[in-house]
Amino acid sequence: MSTTIGLCSDHAGFLMKECVRIRLDQENIPYKDFGAYSPEACDYPDFAHPLAKAVESGEVHLGIAVCGTGNGIAMTLNKHQGIRAALCWESAVAHLSRAHNDANILVLPGRFIPEETAMKVLSVFLTTEFEEGRHRRRVDKIAL
Query: Nearest approach, Cβ of 63 to ligand RB5 (angstroms)?
Result: 16
Q: How far are the Cα atoms of 86, 129, 132, 140 from residue 137, in angstroms, in the given order?
A: 18, 16, 8, 5
Q: Nearest CA to 17 among 7, 6, 4?
A: 7
List binders of ligand RB5 among 35-54 (CB under 6 A): 44
Which of 6, 8, 10, 118 forms a contact with ligand RB5 (CB under 6 A)? 10
Three-state secondary-structure class, residue 43: coil
* Cβ contacts of 50-53, under 8 Å, gap ≥ 24: 50/8, 51/6, 51/7, 51/8, 51/77, 51/105, 52/76, 52/77, 52/79, 52/80, 52/82, 52/83, 52/85, 52/105, 53/80
Which of 24, 64, 67, 83 forms a contact with ligand RB5 (CB under 6 A)? 67
Any contact of residue 68 with ligand RB5 (CB under 6 A)? Answer: yes
List binders of ligand RB5 among 114-143 (CB under 6 A): none
Catalytic annotation on 100? Answer: yes
Query: Nearest approach, Cβ of 71 to ligand RB5 (angstroms)?
Result: 4
Query: Nearest approach, Cβ of 40 to ligand RB5 (angstroms)?
Result: 12
Active-site choice (8, 67, 80, 88): 67
Kindly list the residues in this chain that would bind ligand RB5 in the complex (CB under 6 A): 10, 12, 44, 67-69, 71-72
Which amino acids are annotated catalytic?
67, 100
